[in-house]
């Protein structure tokens, strides 16, 4: 790479290797004696599980193991459970339903694992699965949160009438009620956030080994947290010391939140490796992934906005009914519904905001985090109700937002959710975005579009979201006797370019050529500890840890340099990779100091040999990236086709370590947000709970030609909450795109008097809205 610093757009060092097919993903690793696994899954959304006749499968060619729920009971493996205790709306404890690795007694969604088959080849395992006879006594199912909560709805669990799993309340109820009491107008709207799935480029997969001599497992998997996965499997499922499990993740083709947990198949493969005495590999097929990957979103939100006669926002009140799936089995399908509920406040000066969240059990796959990590949903709610208010009041949507934006003079600003925005200029990002887009020329553009048979719509969306507020991150810097450094990090890289970015930080701090730095992550036997990659946390926490570790290297290096240069420690100055005696030309380079540190004869007395350091950065580190997005669409009046024609974003993500990679993160986030707004929709049949959109023939994934060119710009307002001044950029694009694109579509529909539609704005849904007006 070379000698690079913070703020340079350095190409990702891994790209040439990955683009030439030289990456090392799970399925690239081949072990001697490797076997293959297949999962037989439930074809029913809800059924009582009867006898499983696997005799023919066990006798089939190549079959090594056939594991069922009864075998699971015999082995005594556990199941994940929520860590944080919750309550229901009546004050009783939340209904917790640990999900066993293989179904026992009942199946409660299509795709639930029933039998795990291991054979010499994948096709042999798949063929054997077809020989297994399973008795199912089907039961009524329910797949939407509103229907599940309705009186008389099918009951998922005998001990849980009503299907409520948990209840959460946040915000300032008293202040919100007071704000509504003095409102001149109350705007109400029912908002639907549709269910989606991740569809990462690399599907979930794992390769498990068992060493009977050590009683130790090794798991290679597509995961976002090596240490978190080790902890979940060792502590909750196998009940073994964590030292008995090594978890490894090399390259990973996308995670987006879905790969943040310990999937059941990983523990099943470990168990099967223990039984067969051979390595067991399981790789999800694409259709299997759509069925069984953790899904996301899926809620209905009753929303009320209180405003005064000057269109100033007074209060916001919401009730979220969230379909969490059939099992309340870990914090993963709880936290997305509430962990970022404070985003409802967004960029506005509300006097009070109050939210109620109801977690609802449904006969569907569990939900979990997805790009945005619980932020896009509340931001979408607020930006939708603000747009509805603007339309009802006959106001320009940008003007109503400007009128209610928190001013820079109010910083630091504490919201009704007790979140403290330390810095930000929300109106400024909107002004710059409007200028770049040419907001004053909307009428002219509408007229031009109309001549071509198109209806032009413009959507505006503001966002501010918490990032990097959870836990800490770990970094180690180790020099070897040749003077080269190894940078070890607990944060996982699954496409963000961490190796390049963190090397830039270390290179900038130490004046060390990036070619002399090796980057290591994703191996619990090498990395002492770590939390993982999610929630726009890596640049803030891991990047700051790199700074701290580098500073500790410098401090120790000064002592060694002082000894070598026969000077006092206090006289040594470090800059650009050299230790210099202040006011002289006598100096020694960092790499030379590192080499000398391994020779006790050249070391100061009392100082340990070697040059290394470690750092953990975390605590009160929440930052608040923010921005404004504007989307323009053209709707075909005859067909209902929606074309994104222009997209502008002005974001404040603080200092950008690598502007090019930062822009790539925002770009990708916009695509995923717009994909949900326009195309993607995971649908279960309301009558029988079958997954209707089970392949790419039905689940519409966005393509490059579905998008226009994006105009992305950044305002740099550094935060003082970390030594780098970074705020995080991984979620910003999705948080901005989801409401902005839908606001644009609905703005177009409003031009001809059509009613507002909910996500996704598919061509059929838009066409029906157009036809309703003509009728």
Cα–Cα distance measured from residue 59 to residue 275, given in angstroms and rounded to the nearest whole number: 17
What SS3 state is found at 456?
strand
Beta carbons of 643 and 766 less than 8 angstroms apart: no
CA distances from 679 to 194, 272, 665, 710, 718 (A): 11, 39, 21, 18, 36
DSSP state of 640: -
Beta carbons of 717 and 642 less than 8 angstroms apart: no
pLDDT at 299: 98
Cα–Cα distance measured from residue 666 to residue 484, given in angstroms and rounded to the nearest whole number: 34
Beta carbons of 491 and 521 less than 8 angstroms apart: yes
Beta carbons of 138 and 44 less than 8 angstroms apart: yes
The 10 Å CB-count burial string (b at 16+, else e) for 255-284 is: bbbbbbbbbbbbbbbbbbbbbbebbbbbbb
Cα–Cα distance measured from residue 34 to residue 39, given in angstroms and rounded to the nearest whole number: 17
Neighbouring C-beta atoms of residue 211, cutoff 10 Å: 13
Which 3-state string (H, E, C) describes 712-727? EEECCCCCCCCCCCEC
pLDDT at 1: 55
Q: Give the contacts of 690 (CB within 8 A, at least 6 positions apart).
A: 45, 110, 684
DSSP state of 242: G
Give the count of alpha carbons within 13 A of 479, CB side only: 28
Strand stretches in 512-659, DSSP E: 517-521, 572-575, 578-581, 587-589, 612-618, 626-636, 642-652
pLDDT at 628: 98
Q: For the chain, how big is the Rg over CA atoms in Å?
A: 28
The 10 Å CB-count burial string (b at 16+, else e) for 575-589 is: eebebbbeeeeebbb
Kindly state the tokens that stand for 685.
Answer: 């049949």
Beta carbons of 354 and 317 less than 8 angstroms apart: yes
Cα–Cα distance measured from residue 26 to residue 120, given in angstroms and rounded to the nearest whole number: 18
Which 3-state string (H, E, C) describes 375-387? CHHHHHHHHHHHH
pLDDT at 533: 81
Kindly state the tokens that stand for 130.
Answer: 């077809």
Burial status of residue 379 (CB atoms within 10 A of its CB: 0-12, 13-18, 19 or more) = buried
- pTM given for the model: 0.96
Give the pLDDT means over successive 10-residue stretches in the chain (775 positions). 82 90 95 98 98 98 98 96 95 97 98 98 98 98 98 97 98 98 98 97 97 97 96 97 97 93 97 98 97 98 98 98 97 94 98 98 97 96 98 98 97 96 97 98 98 97 91 95 96 89 96 95 95 86 96 97 94 96 95 95 90 91 94 97 98 96 96 98 97 96 96 97 94 97 98 97 97 88
Q: Got the DSSP string for 304-361?
A: EEEE-TT--EEEEEEEEEEEEES---SGGGTGGGTTTGGGGGTTB--SEEEEEEEEEE
Paired with 215 in beta bridges are none
What are the strands of the beta sheet with 352-361, ordered from one edge? 164-171, 352-361, 313-325, 296-307, 185-196
pLDDT at 653: 97
Beta carbons of 431 and 401 less than 8 angstroms apart: no
CA distances from 322 to 91, 194, 525 (A): 18, 10, 39
Smallest CA-to-CA distance from 246 within 215, 277, 216, 283 is with 216
């Amino acid at each position: 790479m070379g000698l690079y610093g913070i703020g340079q757009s350095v190409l990702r060092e891994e790209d040439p290797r990955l683009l030439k097919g030289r990456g090392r993903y799970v399925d690239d690793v081949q072990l001697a004696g490797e076997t293959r696994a297949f999962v037989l899954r439930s074809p029913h959304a809800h059924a009582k599980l009867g006898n499983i006749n696997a005799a023919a499968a066990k006798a089939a060619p190549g079959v090594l193991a056939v594991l069922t729920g009864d075998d699971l009971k015999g082995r005594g493996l556990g199941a994940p459970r929520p860590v944080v205790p919750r309550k229901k709306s009546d004050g009783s404890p939340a209904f917790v339903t640990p999900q066993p690795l293989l179904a026992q007694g009942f199946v409660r969604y299509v795709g639930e694992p029933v039998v795990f088959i291991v054979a010499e080849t994948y096709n042999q395992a798949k063929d054997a699965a077809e020989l297994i006879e399973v008795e199912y006594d089907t039961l009524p199912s329910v797949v939407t949160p509103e229907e599940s909560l309705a009186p008389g709805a099918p009951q998922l669990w005998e001990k849980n009438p009503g299907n409520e799993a948990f209840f959460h309340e946040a915000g300032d109820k008293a202040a919100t009620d007071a704000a509504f009491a003095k409102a001149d107008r109350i705007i109400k709207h029912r908002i639907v956030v549709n269910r989606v799935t991740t569809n990462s480029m690399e599907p979930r997969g794992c390769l498990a080994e068992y060493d009977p001599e050590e009683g130790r497992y090794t798991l290679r998997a597509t995961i976002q947290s090596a240490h978190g996965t080790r902890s979940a499997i060792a502590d909750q499922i196998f009940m073994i010391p964590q030292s008995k499990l090594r978890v490894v993740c090399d390259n990973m083709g996308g995670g987006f939140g879905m790969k943040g947990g310990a999937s059941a198949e990983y523990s099943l493969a470990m168990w099967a490796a223990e039984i067969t005495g051979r390595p067991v590999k399981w790789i999800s097929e694409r259709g299997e992934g759509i069925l069984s990957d953790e899904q996301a979103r899926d809620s209905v939100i009753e929303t009320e906005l209180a405003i005064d006669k000057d269109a100033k926002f007074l209060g916001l009140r919401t009730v979220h009914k969230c379909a969490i799936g059939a099992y309340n089995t870990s914090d993963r399908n709880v936290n997305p519904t509430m962990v970022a509920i404070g985003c409802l406040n967004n960029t506005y000066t509300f006097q009070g905001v109050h939210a109620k969240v109801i977690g609802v059990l449904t006969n569907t796959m569990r939900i979990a985090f997805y790009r945005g990590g619980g932020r896009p949903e509340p931001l979408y709610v607020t930006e939708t109700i603000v747009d509805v208010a603007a339309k009802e009041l006959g106001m320009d949507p940008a003007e109503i937002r400007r009128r209610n934006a928190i001013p820079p003079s109010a910083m630091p600003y504490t919201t009704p959710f007790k979140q403290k925005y330390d810095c930000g200029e929300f109106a400024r990002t909107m002004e710059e975005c409007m200028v770049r887009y040419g907001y004053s020329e909307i009428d002219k553009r509408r007229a031009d579009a109309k001549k071509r048979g198109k209806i032009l719509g413009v959507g505006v969306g503001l966002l501010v979201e918490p990032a990097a507020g959870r836990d800490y991150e770990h970094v180690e810097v180790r020099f070897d006797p040749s003077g080269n450094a190894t940078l070890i990090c607990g944060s996982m890289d699954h496409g963000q370019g961490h190796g390049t970015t963190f090397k830039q930080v270390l290179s900038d701090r130490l004046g060390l050529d990036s070619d002399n730095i090796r980057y290591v992550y994703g191996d619990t036997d090498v990395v002492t500890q770590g939390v993982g990659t999610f929630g726009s946390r890596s640049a803030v926490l891991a990047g700051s840890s790199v700074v701290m570790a580098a500073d500790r290297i410098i401090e120790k290096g000064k002592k060694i340099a002082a000894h070598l240069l026969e000077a006092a420690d206090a006289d040594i100055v470090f800059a650009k990779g050299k230790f210099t005696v202040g006011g002289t030309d006598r100096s020694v380079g960092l790499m030379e100091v590192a080499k000398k540190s391994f020779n006790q004869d050249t070391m100061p007395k009392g100082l340990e040999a070697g040059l290394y350091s470690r750092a953990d950065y975390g605590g009160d580190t929440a930052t608040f990236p923010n921005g404004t997005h504007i989307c323009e669409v053209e709707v075909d009046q005859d067909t209902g086709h929606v074309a994104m024609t222009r997209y502008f974003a002005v974001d404040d993500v603080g200092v950008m370590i690598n502007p090019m990679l930062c822009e790539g993160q925002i770009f990708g986030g916009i695509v995923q947000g717009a994909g949900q707004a326009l195309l993607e929709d995971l649908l279960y049949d309301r009558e029988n709970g079958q997954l209707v959109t089970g392949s790419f023939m039905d689940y519409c994934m966005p393509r490059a030609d579905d998008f226009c060119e994006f105009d992305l710009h950044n305002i740099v307002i550094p935060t003082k909450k970390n030594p780098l001044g970074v705020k995080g950029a991984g979620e910003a694009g999705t948080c901005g795109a989801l409401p902005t694109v839908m606001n644009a579509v609905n703005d177009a529909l409003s031009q001809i008097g059509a009613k507002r539609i909910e996500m996704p704005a598919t061509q059929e849904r838009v066409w029906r809205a157009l036809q309703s007006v003509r009728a």
